């Protein structure tokens, strides 16, 4: 078995842009990309399966599904507008070997190149390790070429901190840009600040990333629902915090009076 893309519907996009949101830190890229798919009512055009995914199958509504990545297509109603190819999925490469990551990304780029993609935006989260509830969430960026920095920083993307704060991008978000450049594609990676704690997703960071990407792509999208999701998560985290403080007090009664532990995880 090889990594392969199964075409479900043939399309002829005009000036298509790839927007990638595979699973990663805080689920930020994934939530952002899936939200675009839902709001734009993009249609599924292809599936990618790979022997480099973990050998699991998922059960959804009692039906067994192979792990997959999915390509969605949105046709821009504006005649001069750019169409979108949105990539989401269950997972990235799960193999311990490194070859799988490169193999999957090359197959994604083959597919996109055939559709005429020349621009790539990859979306992800950047784990800071901290929660500061009052802080404004920053969107950091890195690009395939320095010309793109000037072009996109006016959308509120901080390109200048990424070298020092991020240094390395792990996985598809970086490889799609790096390998895409070898094919003459220009690419920008946008990362929303998030705590980086495992398991918890970050809809608030996704909301901020959505504000930026919709401005860049000139999309008119209702952000009400993502704001609701973010509020739900914040309420859930507050409950966790209360439970944790009570538990801490039981374990260490002598600690009363000390600074309130306001962190989660």
Q: Does 51 bind its own copies (CB under 8 A)?
A: yes
Is the distance from CB of 26 to CB of 200 less than 8 angstroms?
yes
* Residue nearer to its own copies on the CB measure, 6 or 250: 6
Query: 79: which residues sit within 8 A by CB, 6+ positions away?
Result: none
Q: Does 256 bind its own copies (CB under 8 A)?
A: no
To its own copies, the closest distance from the beta carbon of 19 in angstroms equals 16
Cβ neighbours, 10 Å, residue 253: 8
Sites for its own copies among residues 83-112 (CB under 8 A):
93-103, 106
The residue within the footprint of its own copies, chosen from 17, 115, 189, 210 (CB under 8 A), is 189
Distance CA 175, CA 107 (A): 12
The residue within the footprint of its own copies, chosen from 55, 77, 184, 257 (CB under 8 A), is 55
Distance CA 124, CA 127 (A): 10
Sites for its own copies among residues 59-78 (CB under 8 A):
59-66
* Residue nearer to its own copies on the CB measure, 65 or 238: 65
- φ, ψ for residue 55, nearest 5 deg: -80, 50
Q: Does 114 bind its own copies (CB under 8 A)?
A: no
* Residue nearer to its own copies on the CB measure, 190 or 217: 190
170: left (phi over 0), alpha (psi -120 to 50) or beta: beta
Nearest to 115 by CA among 211, 9, 228: 9
Distances (CA, A) of 98 to 22, 73, 141: 18, 29, 25
**Long-range pairs of 153-162 with CB within 8 A, sequence gap ≥ 24:** 155/212, 155/215, 155/216, 156/211, 156/212, 156/215, 157/188, 157/190, 157/212, 162/191
Q: Does 184 bind its own copies (CB under 8 A)?
A: no
| Residue 111 token pair | 């597919």
The residue within the footprint of its own copies, chosen from 11, 166, 219, 221 (CB under 8 A), is 166
Query: 175: which residues sit within 8 A by CB, 6+ positions away?
Result: 101, 102, 105
To its own copies, the closest distance from the beta carbon of 243 in angstroms equals 23
Q: Does 175 bind its own copies (CB under 8 A)?
A: yes
Q: Does 142 bind its own copies (CB under 8 A)?
A: yes
Q: Does 221 bind its own copies (CB under 8 A)?
A: no
Stretch of 50-58, 79-87, 205-213, 256-264 contacting its own copies, by CB under 8 A: 50-58
Is the distance from CB of 15 to CB of 83 less than 8 angstroms?
yes
* Residue nearer to its own copies on the CB measure, 39 or 194: 194
Number of residues that bind its own copies (CB under 8 A): 55
Q: Does 196 bind its own copies (CB under 8 A)?
A: no
Query: 25: which residues sit within 8 A by CB, 6+ positions away?
Result: 124, 125, 126, 127, 194, 196
The residue within the footprint of its own copies, chosen from 35, 73, 111, 159 (CB under 8 A), is 159
* Residue nearer to its own copies on the CB measure, 58 or 218: 58
Residues at the interface with its own copies (CB under 8 A): 1, 51-66, 93-103, 106, 141-146, 149, 159-160, 162-163, 166-171, 174-175, 177-179, 181-182, 187, 189
């Amino acid at each position: 078995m090889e990594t392969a893309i199964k075409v479900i519907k043939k399309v002829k996009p005009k000036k298509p842009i790839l927007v990638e949101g595979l699973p990663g830190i805080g689920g930020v890229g994934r939530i952002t990309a899936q939200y675009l798919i839902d709001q734009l009512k993009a249609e599924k055009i292809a599936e990618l399966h790979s022997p480099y995914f973990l050998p699991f199958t998922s059960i959804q509504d009692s039906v067994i599904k192979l792990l997959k990545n999915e390509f969605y297509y949105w046709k821009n109603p504006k005649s001069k507008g750019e169409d979108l190819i949105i990539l989401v999925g269950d997972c990235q490469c799960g193999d311990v070997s490194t070859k799988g990551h490169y193999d999957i990304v090359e197959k994604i780029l083959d597919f996109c190149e055939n559709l005429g993609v020349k621009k790539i935006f990859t979306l992800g989260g950047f784990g800071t390790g901290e929660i500061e509830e009052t802080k404004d969430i920053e969107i950091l960026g890195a690009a395939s070429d320095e010309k793109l920095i000037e072009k996109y920083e006016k959308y509120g993307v901080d390109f200048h901190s990424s070298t020092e704060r991020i240094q390395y991008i792990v996985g598809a978000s970086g490889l799609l840009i790096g390998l895409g450049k070898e094919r003459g594609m220009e690419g920008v990676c946008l990362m929303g600040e998030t705590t980086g704690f495992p398991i918890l997703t970050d809809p608030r960071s996704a909301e901020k990333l959505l504000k930026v990407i919709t401005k860049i792509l000139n999309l008119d999208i209702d952000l009400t629902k993502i704001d609701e999701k973010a509020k739900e998560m914040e309420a859930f985290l507050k409950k966790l915090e209360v439970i944790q403080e009570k538990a801490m007090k039981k374990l260490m009664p002598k600690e009363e009076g000390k600074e309130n532990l306001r962190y989660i995880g």
